[in-house]
Amino acid sequence: MASVKFHKLIRHPSAIEEMPSQFEQENAESYCCNREIFRPDTDIKKVGKYVVITFVLSFVFTTILNAIFSGLDIFSYFPLEVRKFKSDNPRCYFLIFYLCLNVMIFVLYLRKILIGIVRLYQHYASEEVRRRCLFKPTCSEYTILVLQKYGVIIGLYKAYIRIFKKCKGNIYRIDYP
């Protein structure tokens, strides 16, 4: 594959950052310029299929859970206002129950959802955009690594710092999480 260099506007790194060694710069530059662009086997059709399957399964699970709660009379332990609302508006109550369950599913699978979004970016972003990163590993690879290592909150913070604060200038760097 031909070696391609993309030039960015020169921005000066902050005074806090230390200059990488010449070896580190050369290593990162050869990685960034000569690497093969990885395109994950993820596309919008697969993502749509997983989203539909998740919503259908959560609907079935909500229906079963609602029937179990009613059969075991768990709703009798709920406050009087909730029981009255459930008896007066059964469809609205089921919709709220379904939405709450989907929010819990979303929170539980947020890490996988965010990694899937990054993989969609890796699949669809042009080569020119993907080669702009001056780091080893690239910013998208780094985001996946920090989400897997640190979780959602700290991982998103570290990815934000990497993409919007450190990714400046024209110096190639090595920065593993």
pLDDT digits (tens, 9 = 90+) for 67-98: 888 888 887 888 888 888 888 988 888 888 88
Q: Judge if 147 and 174 occupy the same domain.
A: yes
11-35 mean pLDDT: 69
Specify the 3-state DSSP secondary structure of 120. helix
Looking at 110, 141, 156, the residue that finishes a domain is 110
For residues 27 and 55, membership in a common domain is answered with no
For residue 94, the enclosing domain spans 44-110
The pTM assigned to this predicted structure is 0.71
- Strand residues in 32-89 grouped as ranges (E): none
Judge whether 140 lies within some domain: yes
Per-residue pLDDT at 3 exceeds 70:
no
Question: Residue 106's pLDDT band (boundaries 50, 70, 90)?
Answer: confident
| 117 within domain boundaries | no
CA 126 to chain centre: 19
Burial tier of 10 (Cβ tally within 10 Å: 0-12, 13-18, 19+) = exposed
Residues 29 and 78 in one domain: no
pLDDT for residue 19 is more than 80 = no
- pLDDT for position 4: 45
**CA torsion, points 43, 44, 47, 49, in degrees to nearest 10?**
-110
Residues 62 and 93 in one domain: yes
User: Considering its fold, how many domains does the chain have in total?
Assistant: 2
Question: Which domain-ending residue is among 59, 75, 110?
Answer: 110
Task: Please indicate, yes or no, whether residues 33 and 48 belong to a single structural domain of this protein.
Answer: no
Same domain, 150 and 176: yes
pLDDT over 50 at 59, yes or no: yes
